[in-house]
């Protein structure tokens, strides 16, 4: 499987360098910079640092600028990661290489992991650039828990990968990318709590957000960075279980869709 992982990552990297300019990456960096500027100007000039008392109660910190910039950076990272991994198979279909891929004796999970590995490199560049913009805008972290942040980061990446597999199977089935992916990204941006505490939402919307592994993994990662909260094993379980369920469903649905496509060839 690991041969498939590294071979897929190397192939995708070469294809991106030769055929596809870094327009997507640059676009996500610009989007992230825009989010940083919106957060900065909103906090400094619009509300002039006057926060609702509930904000500190919900987040455990009154550092709105860091909260918003961390959420914005992770939102851009998740969108970039999920979009590129989920589009892998439908891109093969559009380019006419899907039949050869389905006939190849390679690991399907290795193919997706290789795609995720290469996209992690690109999405990581976006995350780094947005974080640098945030630091220039005045984002400061008082006492982050680095070990917990590393655990939360791995869990967040796993959540992105898991959701991308389900999204990719839906894209391949519907032959659509634009409506499907942008609908999901709009929903996760609202329900997962990237830009504001989820407690401001009605109770039923908060419950709806719990179906995404991104919700709990984002909360753990941002808590470790913003307040220094330690992540324990019981904290990991909900996001980990949801991610594993999404991976199983995504791979299973992908096989069903591939079978239908193969019957049409």
pLDDT in tens, 66-118: 888 889 889 988 988 898 889 888 888 888 887 777 777 777 788 888 888 88
Q: Contact 75/110 with Cβ under 8 angstroms?
A: no
| Of 214 and 126, more confident | 214
Confidence band, pLDDT 50/70/90 cuts, at residue 132: confident
Average pLDDT over residues 233-258: 92
Report percent pLDDT > 70 for the chain: 94
Q: What is the pTM of this model?
A: 0.90
pLDDT above 60 for 257? yes
Evaluated on CA atoms 19, 250, 148, 225, the torsion sign reads positive
Average pLDDT over residues 168-190: 89
Which pLDDT value is given to residue 83? 87
Q: What digits encode the pLDDT tens for the residues 39-76?
A: 888 888 877 777 778 888 888 888 888 888 889 889 98
Mean pLDDT of the chain: 85
Confidence band, pLDDT 50/70/90 cuts, at residue 202: very high
Which pLDDT value is given to residue 65? 86
Which pLDDT value is given to residue 242? 95
Which pLDDT value is given to residue 133? 82
Domain of residue 188: give its range.
Answer: 2-264
* Total structural domains within the chain: 1
Neighbours of 207 (CB within 10 A): 11
Which pLDDT value is given to residue 149? 92
Cβ neighbours of residue 86 under 8 Å, at least 6 residues apart? 164, 165, 167, 168, 171, 181
Neighbours of 93 (CB within 10 A): 17
pLDDT above 60 for 265? no
Tokens coding 108: 């399907």
Which pLDDT value is given to residue 245? 96
pLDDT above 80 for 131? yes
C-alpha closest to that of 80 among 114, 119, 115:
119
Residue 59, exposed/middle/buried by CB under 10 A (0-12, 13-18, 19+)?
buried
């Amino acid at each position: 499987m690991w041969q498939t992982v590294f071979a897929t990552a190397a192939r995708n990297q070469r294809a991106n360098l030769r055929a596809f300019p870094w327009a997507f990456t640059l676009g996500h960096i610009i989007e992230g910079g825009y989010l940083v500027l919106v957060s900065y100007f909103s906090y400094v000039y619009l509300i002039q640092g006057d926060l609702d008392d509930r904000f500190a109660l919900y987040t455990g910190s009154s550092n709105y600028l860091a909260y918003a910039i961390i959420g914005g950076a992770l939102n851009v990272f998740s969108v970039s990661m999920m979009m590129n991994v989920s589009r892998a198979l439908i891109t093969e279909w559009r380019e006419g290489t899907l039949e050869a891929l389905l006939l190849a004796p390679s690991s399907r999970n290795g193919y997706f992991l290789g795609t995720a590995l290469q996209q992690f490199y690109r999405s990581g560049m976006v995350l780094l650039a947005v974080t640098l913009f945030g630091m220039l805008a005045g984002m400061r972290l008082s006492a982050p828990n680095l070990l917990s942040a590393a655990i939360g980061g791995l869990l967040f990446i796993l959540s992105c990968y898991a959701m991308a597999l389900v999204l990719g199977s839906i894209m391949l089935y519907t032959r659509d990318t634009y409506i499907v992916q942008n609908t999901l990204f709009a929903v996760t941006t609202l329900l997962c709590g990237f830009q504001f505490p989820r407690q401001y939402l009605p109770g039923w919307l908060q419950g709806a957000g719990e179906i995404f592994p991104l919700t709990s993994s984002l909360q753990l990662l941002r808590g470790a960075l913003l307040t220094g909260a330690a992540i324990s094993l019981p904290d990991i379980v909900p996001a980990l279980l949801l991610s594993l369920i999404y991976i199983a469903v995504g791979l299973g649905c992908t096989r069903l869709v591939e079978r239908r496509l193969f019957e049409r060839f």
